[in-house]
Homo-oligomer: A and B are copies of this chain.
Amino acid sequence: MGTDSTALLTDHYELTMLEASLRSGAAHRRCVFEVFARRLPEGRRYGVVAGTGRLLDDLERFRFDGPVLDFLARNEIVDDRTLDWLAGYRFSGDIWGYAEGECYFPGSPLLIVEAPFGEAVLLETLVLSVLNHDSAVAAAASRMTYAAGDRPCIEMGSRRTHEDAAVSAARAAYIAGFSSTSNLEAGRRYGIPTTGTSAHAFTLVHDSERQAFQAQVESLGTGTTLLIDTYDVETAVRTAIEVAGPELGAVRIDSGDLVELAHQVRNQLDALGAAKTRIVVTSDLDEYQIAALAAAPVDAYGVGTQLVTGSGHPTAGLVYKLVARAASDDPDAPLIPVAKKSAEKATRGGRKYALRRRGPDGVATAEVISVGQPPEPPAEGDDRPLLVPLVKNGEIVGREPLAAARERHAASRAELPPTVHQMSKGEPAIPTLYMEGSKR
């Protein structure tokens, strides 16, 4: 479409606010914006930060090039002074954030953007789009991979979400412990392992199930996964082993009573000497279904719809709020906290820090948040700082390999108290404590 800029993936009002603040002068006031969740989705015990790496890529392309300025001018969205300002726009501020994969709780300052108002306000929509989507998927994925234990989870939800969101969903799921994805673009772009063998259509297009299995095994080898529920499962298992031999890699069940079928199929495979042939199940699974299958002889879970739609919570509900600004137009003016006056939508003003407090056993006990600088040394020995630099003076400094986020998530989740893994609805796993900050 003539540009790879991300600058228009934003709301109209970000630009009109820029224009009006350039006129009033407020565009140049130093500001602190903060991304946080007022609450977790109903009953969830923790959230998972995802999208940070994607956001940094998007920020690099957040610039107002020719086609973008053309559109804004043609539609008179902002005035000429603002167009000039935008033509030279480069984010010059600082961004800190929870590292990708980290768990979070209500009020956790997931991202802190410090920059002149005009620069920082422009980023609101894009920041929220990326973090709200990816974090929603990662939070659901984390519950699923925990419920699955050592059994791998395969992401296969592309068809149930927007085609570009699908690629990002695969990435978020991988961070939260999924082992692979069906999405090829996620493989190309992020190096995530991709998997897949065949669907019912493949069996149906052949004259018989046997012919289909033969074609697949000849093409993909005996290590492949054969889909056994197109016609009759018992017949299909017998045919599968006749065609592939007991070395068949796996069979896949995509419908029916999965617990019941898994047991039947396991028994049949064992009786046929195919004790190592694995069983993959893939029928509208969510974390509850996965947990319910824990005692069934299942070797892997393929998860689609419920993963990409956040298992009932397709958006993380994160907001991007102004929490502090320069007290005046003086460039040396100190920052003062600001907040909308509202019982229902309270915002705590000021630039924050955040620590994960842990007990002597290494188990997390609280999310400690305060305005100002963290006490040094930390008030309690095992406080783990949560904010890392992502952008310094406009330069991206927070890039890391995707594997780092994946490892971080596993470690962060392992640190949470065991109650976090109760499937039932409940309170956040640890309380959020707001403390008085020091004024160094």
The reply to whether A206 and B161 form a contact with Cβ atoms under 8 Å apart is no
The reply to whether B184 and A162 form a contact with Cβ atoms under 8 Å apart is no
Q: Which residues of B contact A339 (CB under 8 A)?
A: 204
Distance A214 CA – B21 CA, assembled complex (angstroms) = 11
Distance A381 CA – B322 CA, assembled complex (angstroms) = 62
Q: Mark A1-19, 1 if CB is under 8 A from B, else 0.
A: 1000010111111111101
A369 within 8 A of B: no
Distance A315 CA – B284 CA, assembled complex (angstroms) = 13
From A129, A194, A229, name the one whose CB has the most chain B CB atoms within 10 angstroms.
Answer: A129
Distance A204 CA – B134 CA, assembled complex (angstroms) = 29
Stretch at the interface among A340-348, A357-365, A411-419: A340-348
Q: Which residues of B contact A8 (CB under 8 A)?
A: 184-185, 187-188
Q: Mark A166-180, 1 if CB is under 8 A from B, else 0.
A: 111000000000000
Q: Which residues of B contact A132 (CB under 8 A)?
A: 159-161
Q: Mark A209-251, 1 if CB is under 8 A from B, else 0.
A: 0011011101110000000011110000000000000000000
- A129-B158, A165-B161, A167-B9 are known contacts. Are A198 and B20 too (CB-CB below 8 A)? yes
- A21-B215, A220-B19 are known contacts. Are A160 and B197 too (CB-CB below 8 A)? no
With an 8 Å Cβ cutoff, the count of chain A residues facing the other chain is: 104
Distance A256 CA – B345 CA, assembled complex (angstroms) = 9
Q: Looking across the interface, which residue of chain B has its beta carbon closest to that of A157? A: B315
The reply to whether B315 and A160 form a contact with Cβ atoms under 8 Å apart is yes
Q: Looking across the interface, which residue of chain B has its beta carbon closest to that of A169? A: B162
Stretch at the interface among A22-30, A95-103, A264-272, A371-379: A22-30
The reply to whether B341 and A188 form a contact with Cβ atoms under 8 Å apart is no
Q: Please give the distance in Å from A324's CB to the nearest CB on chain B.
A: 10
Of the residues B1, B162, B183, contact of A189 by C-beta under 8 Å: B1
The reply to whether A20 and B156 form a contact with Cβ atoms under 8 Å apart is no
A121 within 8 A of B: yes
The reply to whether B342 and A255 form a contact with Cβ atoms under 8 Å apart is yes
A399 within 8 A of B: no
What 19 new A-B contacts, CB under 8 Å, besides A12-B196, A126-B163, A162-B165? A9-B166, A9-B183, A9-B184, A9-B185, A11-B156, A12-B195, A15-B196, A17-B197, A20-B215, A21-B205, A21-B215, A31-B205, A75-B194, A130-B163, A132-B160, A232-B341, A255-B344, A255-B345, A314-B314
29 residue pairs of the A-B complex, CB under 8 angstroms, read A9-B167, A9-B183, A11-B196, A13-B182, A13-B196, A13-B199, A15-B184, A16-B197, A16-B220, A19-B219, A21-B215, A24-B211, A26-B205, A29-B205, A67-B188, A68-B188, A71-B187, A117-B205, A129-B160, A129-B166, A130-B163, A132-B159, A132-B160, A133-B162, A162-B162, A200-B321, A204-B325, A231-B340, A231-B341
